[in-house]
A and B are shown apart, each in its own frame.
Chain A
Amino acid sequence: MTLSADVRVTRAGDFTLSAAVSAPAGTVTALLGPNGAGKSTLLRVLAGLLPLDAGRVVLDGTVYDDPTAGVLLPPERRPVGVVFQDYLLFPHLTALDNVAFGPRCRGLSRARSRQVAQEWLDRVGLGDLAGRRPRRLSGGQAQRVALARALATEPRLLLLDEPLAALDAGTRMRIRTELRRHLDDFGGVAVLVTHDPLDAMVLADQVVVLEEGRVVQCGAPREIATRPASRYVADLVGVNLVPGRGLGGDRVALDGCALTLPGAPVGDVLVAFPRPRCACAPWRRPTRGGPGPCGSSAWSPRWTGSWSRSKALPTSGSPSPPAPSRTWVCGSTPGSGWNRGPRRPWSTRVRRRTDRLRRSGERSRPRRWDRHRAWRPPSAGPRRGRAIVGAWVTGERWGWCAARPRAARPCWRA
């Protein structure tokens, strides 16, 4: 039981989605990407709500959509279940009738479909709210009813469109954990659309990164996190990608400075800098005569692969290199000072992974890490740091190539 979709759709305007996705049964594939990347379009194609212009959608050997063969199965004839972004529960039906709607449409008797619905509501822990109208359900409850409704038809393809986006942070964490449990139980192919990397990391077995209608990277969550192939992914997973040039001899020239990276190749490279919670850069005037050494970096950069115009990255897809931009480099590299990063809850799962890595001592100096943590200003509030794999403070210090911090509050090292 597998899903194999080669999707080419042109929408009004000149947006073209061209993506190939395949997934075996029992796995969860996350479609990760910024708004307008085509994630939801891809999901709509899989659900049958949008016909293909070209390509092919096959599930378990059954062709659902193939324009050249003239095959197009309407959504009601596909074994799909969809959890929509804002759930789209039928407002005029009770929770029970919402869940019973699918089984009833698929031919079960009224009594039997209600029985099935009740079982599903029990499974998602809402058995006692069966008689409620959606209007009287909380966001989390509505999400669970929507999940029950989608699963009650026993689909072989489960599509989830930003299932957690409409929830507040606290609920989201709980529902995410629950969703993980239900997805583990689900035997078919699940495809999840999200723009939150944490959802993708926690829920998915495979992450497909979409940008501007194209797949830019595809792989296991960990691989995506550690080897981001594009600036968007890097931003998402918490590293900064800086285009540089390998000079040979482990030297890499960046915008305005140079640093030593063991094993760096010669030619165009992307250097990944973890985005720190609190960066500490001793402010020093540039020395005369061009780039100085970057040997004093506060953070040890890791690198994600070489970039060459004629050669693709080791990961799938073919991203264009981020345009070198002074503000971008200097505004987001470790030297730029206080950088809060996007507000994201700290997942226990990711934290554990981080802890594990920290324990392994891989290039890490826990003492310094702790010291940095201790400097977190009170304004940072209860938010925790990001899950950054491989970002460890070393004794080196970041050089002068960072620009002066902008409005952000700097956190100087003592």
Chain B
Amino acid sequence: MRRRAGGTGRAWRTPVAVALVSGLAVAACSAPDQDVAQVGETSRSAVVFAAASLTEVLTELGAEFERGHPGTSIDFNFAASSALAQQIAAGAPADVFASASPEPMDQVVDLDLVAEPPVIFAANRLQIVVPSGNPGGVTGLADFADPDKVIALCAPAVPCGGAAREVLELAGIDAKPDTYERDVRATLTKVRLGEVDAALVYRTDVLVAGDEVRGVDFPESERVVNDYPLAALAEASDADLASAFVDYLRSPAAEDVLRTAGFDVP
């Protein structure tokens, strides 16, 4: 045992010595340059839990942010907002939460897990999506009531499913879906593969899918707009970086990127 303790002692003695020497060196130089200090710091990182529908746009914005703030890294965990809220409530190490609807955020807020009140940084609208070529001949929301057409909707428990239900109710349509997919991306995938004739997904998702699918606008979509709340979390490991990223997402530069991706920006 004693030998072992001795070994451990030797092992940590070296770094301490290095730290002392480098501390002396810094003191000796005594030129407090902000940039140098920042670069010399160990890299800072924040973990962002974000709704699956934000995957592409936030990945892009995260990279942009990292370029603007050297030495930082933004890591993402994309999933259904409700699942993310569950994970945050269960103590997952998250710094920022970007939800695709207010309900999951409310859960987090109710548990007092946010650092500051959430803000709406983007909004999304539903769009009918059909495979390219529109094999089912879907033209509007009314086709969702046709039992012969294969229709996919998001599960009611996830935000896009809630929104879809709301839109269909507003339009007075008794939809006959064949499947309730677990999230918006799974729904979109079924369209991309041509397994369903139509689905209701976010406009942004339709853009992401590119040529494989086609979006069909419908008037009722205006009446159900999905707000995306955003908040830095109370148990963030790096509160400064978290709030800096939240601020960045509300900057004009970020708003442009969001708009390009199909989001509405309030």
A and B touching (C-beta < 8 Å)?
A: no
